[in-house]
Amino acid sequence: MIEVHDLTKQYGPVTAIRDVSFTVAPGEIVGFLGPNGAGKTTTMRILAGFMPATRGTARVAGYDVFRESLQVRRRIGYLPENVPLYTELRVGPYLEFVAEVKGVPRAERRRRVADVLERCRIADVAHRRIGTLSKGYRQRVGLAQALVGDPAVLILDEPTIGLDPRQIAEIRALIKSLAGRHTVILSTHILPEVAMVCSGVIIINRGVIVAQGPIDRLVEEFFPTARVQVQLEGPREAVREGLRKIPGVLAVHDAPGADGAAGFVVEAPRGRDVRAEVFRLAAEQRWPLTELRRVGATLEEVFIRVVAGEEPAPEAEPAEAAR
């Protein structure tokens, strides 16, 4: 559905993105992540037809973004971070205008508008002027305008910015419901949100793609060990040494403990569960065991390791984004 190859954008001597390549399959929801200034917005604007690239190719729904821009725009719904709305228009008429501009047949416009009003939870403000709405409501109007044309592809830049926790949960559920019917690229700084909504991620840093793929696979690649959180009431050095001697243990790291207990994270090869041996050690040494649980790496840890830690991505197929 989306194919990007060697996309580069230069502003004079400054290179905003360099040799960006990825694919997103039909019906997938993919998170597009990176620190501020990494090149996320530049890439999304190019895909949406808002600006040209210096070189490279991009195709959306089979159409070339640069040579068939009009065809691409008809198949894309775009929600920029700062939503450009006609503040003097009322919500309902504005969405009807957007539907007309996007080529929605006259007979279907009212139904489409009513549908997005309901899905985005803004039916109660359909008759209000956009300029009188709160930031959260304006954000939802922006999402509605991206959806009203029933596009094959949605490009969403910080879609939950300015929303309260309840609204965030509603929009998150809405975006998740789009899987299968729409292809979605979602850019956000809220990494747990990506983990809950997206099947895969693309991470960009300093204009270069540094990691991409299904979230579970990236976690396995960057954190290839199984980890167990342990808390024992015993001499810290003796506990640490006892844990290290358990067959299969690769490393033992200090971790916060509560009420005087010694806390550790124990690493073993993926697929090796050392909890039974830890329990047996505690029983033999008569060390009260207050915590013993598996802990998995998170998308946030992957992001920090790749971006903040400047760790290069493991070898992967360059055009594979979320298979």
pLDDT in tens, 190-238: 888 898 899 999 999 999 999 999 998 888 888 888 899 999 999 999 9
Residue 127, SS3?
coil
For the chain, where are the alpha helices, taking DSSP H only?
40-47, 69-74, 91-101, 106-119, 135-147, 165-177, 191-197, 215-222, 236-244, 275-285, 299-303
pLDDT band with cut points at 50, 70 and 90 for residue 285: very high
pLDDT of residue 278: 95
Mean pLDDT of the chain: 88
Instruction: Flag whether 199 is in a domain.
Output: yes
Residues of the chain above pLDDT 70, percent: 95
Instruction: Flag whether 315 is in a domain.
Output: no
CATH number at residue 279: 3.30.70.3190
pLDDT of residue 319: 38
Instruction: Flag whether 58 is in a domain.
Output: yes
CATH number at residue 139: 3.40.50.300
Residue 143 shares a structural domain with residue 61: yes
pLDDT of residue 87: 92
Measured distance CA(16)–CA(91) in Å, rounded: 36
pLDDT band with cut points at 50, 70 and 90 for residue 186: very high
pLDDT of residue 221: 85
pLDDT band with cut points at 50, 70 and 90 for residue 310: low
Instruction: Flag whether 320 is in a domain.
Output: no
Instruction: Flag whether 94 is in a domain.
Output: yes
Both structure tokens of 13: 């001597």
* Higher-confidence position of 310 and 78: 78
Residue 257 shares a structural domain with residue 127: no
pLDDT in tens, 41-65: 899 999 988 899 999 999 998 899 9
Residue 140 shares a structural domain with residue 80: yes
Instruction: Flag whether 319 is in a domain.
Output: no
Measured distance CA(171)–CA(169) in Å, rounded: 6
Neighbours of 73 (CB within 10 A): 21
pLDDT of residue 315: 44
Residue 117 shares a structural domain with residue 164: yes
Q: What angle separates helix 236-244 from helix 275-285, to the nearest 10 degrees?
A: 140
Instruction: Give the domain range for residue 292.
Output: 224-296
Residue 92 shares a structural domain with residue 25: yes
pLDDT band with cut points at 50, 70 and 90 for residue 166: confident
Residue 73 shares a structural domain with residue 139: yes
Both structure tokens of 66: 């640069």
Both structure tokens of 87: 């503040």
Domain count, the chain: 2
pLDDT of residue 25: 93
Residue 122 shares a structural domain with residue 241: no
Residue 81 shares a structural domain with residue 29: yes
Both structure tokens of 131: 């300029």
Whether 270 has a pLDDT exceeding 70, the answer reads yes
Residue 61 shares a structural domain with residue 80: yes
Residue 45 shares a structural domain with residue 127: yes
Whether 5 has a pLDDT exceeding 60, the answer reads yes
Instruction: Flag whether 321 is in a domain.
Output: no
Measured distance CA(44)–CA(69) in Å, rounded: 14
Residue 187 shares a structural domain with residue 202: yes
Residue 61 shares a structural domain with residue 152: yes
Instruction: Flag whether 291 is in a domain.
Output: yes
